[in-house]
Structure formats: C-alpha cells, structure tokens
Structure 1
Amino acid sequence: MLLSPEQLLAFLPAAVLITLSPGPDNLMVLSLGVARGRKSGMVFGLGCALGCLSHTLLAALGVSALIAATPWALLGLKVLGGGYLVWLGWQALHSAGSRLQPAQQGGAEPSLRQLFGKGLVANAVNPKVILFFLAFLPQFISGSQHAAWQTAQLGVLFTLQAAVLFGSLGYFAGHAGRWLNTSPRRGMWLDRLAGTVFIGLGLRLLVVR
C-alpha cells in the first residue's frame, strides 16, 4: 500500500517545518559548515539525515516502542548519544585551527567520509529522535493495515527531505564561513564555537529528561 496523496500533503509540510525548526541537528550542521566549509557541512548534514533511516527501521519493526517503554534502555541511549556528542565537541576544541594549519597539526582534519560517519552516528544514537519518530510518524498512518509499510515510507520520505534541507544548510553555512576562514585566528574561534555547540548539545541530552 503506497501513501495516498492526502497523506503526502499532510506529512510533507509538517516534516519540512520540523526539520527547519531550530534543533540539535540544525545547530551541528550549521556550526560545522561555518567552521569547516560547505563540503564538510553538507556531508555531515547528509549523515545526520540518513541516520533517520535507522529510526525508521526501528519504528517500522516496533522496536522504538519497546525502547521507549524500557527505562534502562532509554537511559543507556541517552548516555551513549550524549557522550558521543561531547566527544565530538572535545575533538573540535582540541584541533582548533587545524584545518588552516595542516602542516603544524599533522593533517588532523577529519575526512569527508569520517564526517559523514559522525553525522550518521550522532543522529542514530539520539534517543530523542527515536521518541520523535515513535510519536510523529503514526499520526499520518491511515488504518491499521500495512502500518509497518506505511511507517517505512514516511520515514524514508522524512529522510529525503531532511537530506535536501540539511545539505542546503551546510552549503550556505559553508559559503558564509569561507570568508571567516580566511584568517587563522577566525578559523580557531570557529572551531571552538563548533566544539562548544557539540558539547552543549551532548550535556543537554545527558541532563535534560
């Protein structure tokens, strides 16, 4: 059973508004795009978007409901996700300015493949995204038949529009960051800003219930 036009017209605008609203993924893509350039921002954003596929699979299989109902599993995900974001932030702070001074830092800048993987993991281990998919997607399911298949289609559609929007955000953030990164001092502070954003988001995930 394919999604009906009515389901698409109801789901897509809501998905776009939610993706565009300020949140952890947006902030990470924006800060990384400004600090590291548009390619880095776009690749990291694509990783964040494709991380939604794991949540789609979990929601379609009903695993998300099980995780949400199991306090220790949800707590474990919070610790894992928050700790991972703090680690990413610490890396950004530790390698401040490395992109502009590769000879002095031994070329420590992460590759595009690494940035994609970091975005993928950062989204995949975020328990709030699991809960969001569990609460959001069922609102657009029509009837009880083929619910898992409808959930999968909605999740893939959400992922596709997120990839476009996050990619655009990374591109324009990187475009603005090109001028800022012409100075090593600016680049150092941009790296510190990106690291601070990541650490703040990680601590928020660990502390806020």
Structure 2
Amino acid sequence: MLVQLLAATGVLAVLTMVPGPDMAVVTKRAIASGWQDGLRTVGGIAAGLLVWGVLTVVGLAAVLAASATAYTIVKLAGAVYLGFLGIQALLHSRRSHSAASEVNAPSPSGNPWRTGLVSNVFNPKIAVFYTGLLPMLAPSGFSPHGGMTLLVLIHAALTLVWLGGYVLVLAKARAFFEKPAVRRTMDRITGVVLIGFGVKVATSHP
C-alpha cells in the first residue's frame, strides 16, 4: 500500500509541476500585486482542487466528464474567464506606459483567492483527470472513496507547496519585475499566455 501511495504521489507531483493556466494566473497576480496576493491565489486554486475532489467522490465530476454538453459549458466558461484575465493583463501593460502609472501601477481588481478558485473550477480537464486517473492511482488498502479523497488532499497539498514556493521565488526577484519595462513585458507575456490557454481550453475535448 505504501509503495502504491508513493507512486501515486509521484505521478501527482509531476502533473502539479507541469505549467498550465494555474501557474499563469499565479504569475500574473504575484508580479502585479505581490507575494501575499500570489499566495492567496494559490489558496484559491487549492480550494478549487478540493471542490473537484468532492464532486469526483460523489460522482458529479464523472457526469460532467461523460456529458458533452456539460463539458462544453464548463470549458467555454473557463476559456472566457482565462481570456478575460489575459486581456486585462494586456490592457494593464498599455496603461503602464504613462509615467504616473509606472510609479504607482494599479493592482489587478478582484479577490485573488476567488481568482484562483474560479480559474481552477472552470477547468474541465481537472474533472477528466480526477475521474479517469484517480481511481487507478488509489491505493488498494483504502476504500475507493477513501483512496481518492486521500489523493485529492495530497494533490492540493502538492499544489500549495509547488505554487507557493514559486510565488516566493518571484517575490525574491520582485525588484527586477517592478522595473517598468520588465513589468510591461511580463504583463504582455502573461496576457498572451492566458489567452492562449483560454483558446486551448475552448478547443479541448474530454
């Protein structure tokens, strides 16, 4: 059982470290507003994983993964939200051209915790991943629901550690990222990346 649990944790760790929409959202928030908001965004993302975990355990995520209509609704909502965040970043980079805004650049609007939560909850790939992979990874020494619940908690913890550490690394280089030219460039890069992920989500299939 311990070997199975360690193997499952290794798989979850690899999947956690693969760059995706969550990392792009965290990057945008941490650079624009500081490490505190970055960590709050990470907390929202972890909460989103727990939401998907609960839905998976009770079987609703399986319905979503199996229903083309439900999957399309969720993925389009997620794509629109990621696109909105991307456009927001691009507009912020244009506003930061003025000297006044370079000195006192506005922070992104909205609650960072909610931003992380919404971006994760509207990622239907999590539903497909949880319903398709977690049952196979669940250690045999637990009940099916108990094993999947444990893996969801491990995944959320890994996400907190990985993205939280990433935020703190960004904080160490905050002085560099606060330079106006660097800030504009990062806003443009994260904006394009978020829009790209939005397009990817919109065109994805279960």
Q: How far apart, in 2, do the equivalents of 1:7 and 1:98 lie?
A: 52
Cα–Cα, structure 1 residues 101 and 129, in superposed 2: closer, same or farther, change >3 Å?
farther
Mapped to 2, the partners of 1:154 and 1:98 lie a distance apart of: 43
TM-score (norm 1): 0.84
- Deviation digits for residues 131-172 of structure 1 (CA, Å, limit 9, x no counterpart): 111122111224597312221121111101111111011211
Q: 2:146 is matched with which residue: 149, 160, 165?
A: 149
8 Å Cα contact 1:82-1:206 kept in structure 2? yes
Quickly say closer, same or farther: Cα 1:155–1:100, change in 2 above 3 A: farther
Q: Name 2:187's counterpart in structure 1.
A: 191
| C-alpha separation in 2, matches of 1:100 and 1:120 | 31
Please state if 1:53 is matched with 2:64. no
Q: Which digits, 9 at most, give the CA deviation of each residue in 1:51-88, with x for residues without a partner?
A: 10011011101111111111100000110110110011
Q: Which secondary structure does the structure 2 equivalent of 1:95 belong to?
A: helix
Number of aligned residues = 204
Structure 2 CA distance for partners of 1:100 and 1:179, relative to 1, 3 Å: farther
Partner of 1:207: 203
State the superposition RMSD in angstroms.
Answer: 2.8
Q: Tell me the distance in 2 between the aligned counterparts of 1:76 and 1:20.
A: 27
Quote the Cα distance in structure 2 between the aligned partners of 1:134 and 1:39.
33
The CA deviation at 1:40 is 3.3
Distance 1:98 1:167, change over 3 A: farther
Q: Structure 2: which amino acid aligns with 1:170?
A: V
- Per the alignment, residue 29 of structure 1 pairs with 26
Q: Percent identity?
A: 28
Within a 5 Å distance, the mapping from 1:1-209 to structure 2 comes to 4-96=1-93, 104=101, 108-110=106-108, 114-143=111-140, 146-181=143-178, 183-209=179-205
Shift of 1:208: 3.3
User: Structure 1 stretches of 5 or more lacking a match?
Assistant: none
Q: Supply the distance in 1 between the matched residues of 2:95 and 2:35 (Cα, whole angstroms).
A: 17
TM-score by length of 2: 0.85
What are structure 2's unaligned runs of at least 5 residues?
none
Contact 1:43 / 1:167 at 8 angstroms: preserved in 2?
no
1:109–1:88 distance in 2 versus 1, CA, 3 Å: same
Query: SS at 1:51's partner residue?
Result: helix
**Which one-letter code corresponds to 1:202 in the other structure?**
G
